[in-house]
Chains A and B, each alone.
Chain A
Amino acid sequence: MKQFDRRDFLKSSAAAALAGSSSFGVLSRALAADPINFFAWSAGVDQVKSHISAFEAKTGLKVAYANAPWAQYRDTLVTKFVGGAPLDVLWVSDSWLPEWAEAGWLAPIDGYRELTKYNAEVDDFSTKSMTYKGKQYGLTYYTDYMGFFYDEQMLKKAGISAPPKTWDEVVQQSLKIKKAGLSEYPMMLSMARETWLIEFISAMVFSHGGRLVDDTGVAVMDDRRKGAREALTWVVDAVNKHKIVSPACVEIGELNGLKAFSSGQHAFAMLGRYRVRTLNDPKQSQIAGRVKQGLMPAGPNGSHATVGWNRFYGLTASAAKNKAKAADAVKFIEWFGGKADGKYAFQKLMFMDVGAGFAVKPLFKDPEIIKTYSQYSDIKMYERQQALARKKDVVSPWFGEWDEVNGTAWQAAILGKSSVNDALKRSADTWNKLRRRS
């Protein structure tokens, strides 16, 4: 019997390798292929995982999914980008888009018709929120807006038959409720220094007919006619003159505001629209069944406009450079942000499971969604207010830096440490300085 020498061993090894590579070609490609690196914040993790599994089964592609808490998301991602970590698709907040686009970390998706075709069915402000310098950078994952809510029962007890349509009416009705001894501070406003503050501020400013920054990017918040003066004056007066908003509003964050309103301490509240599900849930709210959504009250020169926000699937510049990788990433983005098997499956899943808002208009007609939403709120009002939502006008590469100063300036005015004009001038000066520097 011939001995199995070193040469034979090498020959047979090479043959085995060749056979293996051809027989298990498909499998090995799937296993060894570079996965789509998807990074998100830790929301709806189970829903994301199940939708990824469906994607993998459908396409044979692999996805490496990782997440980080929302509070540390921006820092984590910036560090990953700078460090060159593998990232292909990620969740992006509209607030960070200019910063990340300017840094060259995100790639526009305008060239991918399979993604942009969905714009026709998406709310306009949502698409605008994903657009920077004329280029679209993603497909929506979750969209919502700042809503105005009231405790219908408390209003009735005070002899009020209809919710306020204007901010003046909010004052009048609040004073009536206060006089009736139903609430010490009928209006709940969260003005604590946190990421939500700019949404509260923007909603107040937009509904008063003002702007913080105009379309050319120039600060107008200190402009007497078209700025934020009326909005900030209303807040300052509500706290200090009418005493319908608690002076503690500067320490009340969005979550604490939700708790305070759901404990029955207030008649009116400005909160993220999606909070209505919690507010009317008997397990989580003492005023369940009594909370209704009204249109955002209008200022003397304003409208029922509010601020909307958008979170979307972004394609990284590094993925876009690699044609094969980009093709896979685009399939993934469409599966999540567009339609999967002909349906807006993921957006519906997130709405049904966690109450997350959506920007794709056909879902407003979905019988299952209508039925579910009617259990705790009015879908017509949801849709009507969303149509009046606007994107934040201050989103810019220097937004983070300016936001620090602006939040402080608004708080200083509320606390009486500076005048409304001085606060807005400080905010505008900082904006202009940062804009010049960049």
Chain B
Amino acid sequence: MSIRAGALRGVFGAPVSRYDQASALWLLAPMLAVLLVVAVFPVLYSFWISLFDLRLTRPHRVPFVGLDNYLEVLQDELFWSSVWRTTSFTLMSVTAIMVIALAMALLLNEEFRGRRFLSAMLLVPWAIPYVANGLMWKWIYDSGYGALNGLLFQLDFIDKYMVWLGDSHKTLALIANAFVWKEVPLATILLLVGLKSIPADLYSAARVDGADLWRRFVHITLPALRPSFMLVMIYETMMAIRHFDLFFILTEGGPAEASHVLAWQVYVETFRKLSFGTGSALAYIMALVTFLLAFWLIRTLGRKL
């Protein structure tokens, strides 16, 4: 087999033969085919669908409407209020996750009796499936027999049972709380990995220079933790924007429209109204917003990684 001058070079700079290139392509072909079928085709097809007024319950009339579905979504007041609610939910959730996960990671980075047990316990919420988590919180928040009311009542914090999810002022924050509870373990682990990678020498040198605990945290821990911090923030932001399960199980978008977020609107359009055209358009808008946000986060914050 011949190696042509100027041929491709491999990972370690060694030239790659035509035979190797062809073999690589053949070996990758099955996976590429699978990706084409399960990822690329559905994505393109759903875009195609978004250009039609496709309602499953009206199968014999599917007119081409171009970008009308997108315009319809963008002119819908409910869409913009959903954007606002999704933003609120994301800000609340991600802020809480970052603060709690950082505190937990700092705690677990210290040596103390019971640290291993605490680390194991931390994983419990992460191990619980989202649906089970939702049902558990539904029971906790229930206004009639919920554990939260029971606890607060027994501790004399309240003199009668409160309305939780049914109070539209509290709904979004309560769902965010359930989301945070589930997400904190993963965030903690990722931050803990970052903490473990900080050389102990840096802290020793800072101590010799007379830096107190706060200064060591601000000048060593936080800068060194930035890559993990960015990773967690971007991941959790994406998760919060797309989150659906808890809204479905706890409130179904209610009461009134108090928890009607973007992910819920996509579900309602697509699977309740069976309007696949507008549902796909909405999903595309949501995907685009998520992508742009992730891009912005990586460009502005990620460059400091």
Contact = CB atoms under 8 A, between A and B. Distances in A.
A372 interface: no
Main DSSP-derived SS at the A contact region: helix
A53 interface: no
A408 B258 CA distance: 10
Given A184-B160, A400-B273, A249 B58 contact: no
Contacts of B256: 250, 408, 411-412, 415, 417
A50 B165 CA distance: 43
Contacts of A246: 143-144, 163
25 contacts: A79-B56, A82-B59, A99-B57, A104-B60, A193-B255, A246-B143, A248-B144, A248-B163, A248-B164, A251-B163, A251-B251, A251-B255, A252-B143, A259-B145, A260-B144, A263-B144, A263-B145, A265-B144, A401-B272, A404-B268, A404-B272, A408-B253, A408-B260, A415-B255, A417-B168
A184 B161 CA distance: 10
A102 B58 contact: yes
Contacts of A408: 253-254, 256-257, 260
Interface string A190-221: 00111000000000000000000000000000
B271 interface: yes
Interface string B152-179: 0000000010011111100000000000
A275 to B, nearest CB: 17
B142 interface: yes
B100 interface: no
A250 B254 contact: yes
Contact of A251 (B143, B274, B275): B143
Most A-side CB within 10 Å, residue of B57, B58, B168, B257: B57
Nearest to B141: A251
A75 interface: yes
Size category, B interface = 20 to 34
Interface string B33-67: 00000000000000000000000111110000000
Given A99-B57, A247-B167, A260-B144, A401 B254 contact: no
B165 A251 contact: yes
Contacts of B57: 78, 99-100, 102-103, 397
B274 A75 contact: yes
A256 interface: yes
B68 interface: no
B252 interface: yes
Contacts of A417: 168, 256
A270 B167 CA distance: 22
Q: Say what secondary structure dominates the interface of chain B.
A: loop
Interface in A335-390: none
Contacts of B252: 192-194
In this complex, the member of A100, A252, A263 whose beta carbon has the largest number of chain B beta carbons within 10 angstroms is A252
Interface string A399-435: 0110010011001101101000000000000000000
B160 to A, nearest CB: 7
A251 B254 contact: yes
A26 B294 CA distance: 67
A82 B143 CA distance: 42
Interface in B244-272: 251-257, 260, 268, 271-272
Given A250-B254, A412-B256, A78 B166 contact: no
Interface centre among A248, A404, A412, by most chain B C-beta atoms within 10 angstroms, is: A248
Nearest to A438: B58
Contacts, number: 93
B17 to A, nearest CB: 48
Contacts of B275: 401
Contacts of B58: 102-103, 397
A81 B56 CA distance: 9
A248 B146 CA distance: 12
Given A408-B254, A417-B256, A247 B166 contact: yes
Nearest to A412: B256
Interface of A: 75, 78-79, 81-82, 99-100, 102-104, 184, 192-194, 246-252, 256, 259-260, 263, 265, 397, 400-401, 404, 407-408, 411-412, 414-415, 417
B143 A411 contact: no
Interface of B: 56-60, 142-145, 160, 163-168, 251-257, 260, 268, 271-275
Given A193-B251, A193-B255, A248-B143, 11 more contacts: A82-B59, A103-B58, A104-B59, A192-B255, A248-B166, A251-B163, A265-B144, A400-B273, A401-B275, A408-B253, A408-B256
B254 A192 contact: yes
Given A82-B56, A251-B143, A400 B254 contact: no
A251 B60 contact: no
A249 B56 contact: no
Contacts of B268: 404
A17 B285 CA distance: 62
B56 A193 contact: no
Nearest to A105: B59
Contacts of A256: 142, 144
A260 B272 CA distance: 28
A247 B255 CA distance: 11
Nearest to B146: A248
Contacts of B163: 246-248, 251
A34 B207 CA distance: 84
B247 to A, nearest CB: 11
Contacts of B165: 251
B254 A411 contact: yes
Nearest to A265: B144
A401 B165 CA distance: 24
B273 A250 contact: no
Given A102-B58, A193-B254, A400-B273, A249 B144 contact: no
Contacts of B59: 81-82, 103-104
A265 B166 CA distance: 18
Nearest to A413: B256
A95 to B, nearest CB: 12
A81 B257 CA distance: 32
Contacts of B257: 408, 412
Given A248-B144, A256-B144, A400 B272 contact: yes
A81 B59 CA distance: 9
Contact of A250 (B142, B145, B255, B274): B255
Nearest to B268: A404
B120 to A, nearest CB: 34
A412 B256 CA distance: 5
A269 to B, nearest CB: 13
Nearest to A249: B166
A401 B273 contact: yes
Which one of B59, B166, B168, B272 has the highest number of Cβ atoms from chain A below 10 Å of its Cβ?
A: B166
Nearest to A403: B272
